[in-house]
Amino acid sequence: MHRLFRHEFEVLPSALDRNGHVNNVQYVQWMQDVAVMHADAAGCSAVTEAIGATWVARSHWIEYLRPAFAGDRIAAVTWVANFRRVRSLRKYRFVRIGDAALIAQGETDWVFVDAATGKLRAIPESVSGAFVLVPEAEEPDAAAIAAGR
């Protein structure tokens, strides 16, 4: 079972906007990418596909705290905060490794749906059981993320 998932990467010039820092929509892409990587690593993606279901984003929330630039090393950390009948809240933090700066944080409210019909489905234990929920009191801070803890 998976708790926190961490992915490190370097900001590419293609991620920048006209202001010379990471474009705001790039963070939403990174949120989706790291969520999928976590689900794949936990075995959730395979189980979800096998039962004919999929996850669809219902809403995103993101807070931009500091700019990031080409060449910055970023640690993206994600975790599942809760499961409800047909929904799950996933959280994210993005930290610049060089100075341990929290550059952005966000959440996605995902809904579980039938892949063929798009209708909501209850999340089965075979899916939710792939993750260990992280309560708010145990969410990682920027220093721990930068240090790889």
Q: Give the three-state DSSP class for 95.
A: strand
What CATH number does the domain containing 103 carry? 3.10.129.10
pLDDT at 13: 98
Q: pLDDT tens-digit profile of 82-140?
A: 999 999 999 999 999 999 999 999 999 999 999 999 999 999 999 999 999 999 999 99
Torsion of CA 136, 138, 144, 149, to 10 degrees: -130
The domain total for the chain is 1
pTM of the model: 0.95
pLDDT at 1: 66
Q: pLDDT tens-digit profile of 51-89?
A: 999 999 999 999 999 999 999 999 999 999 999 999 999
Containing domain of residue 122, as a range? 5-146
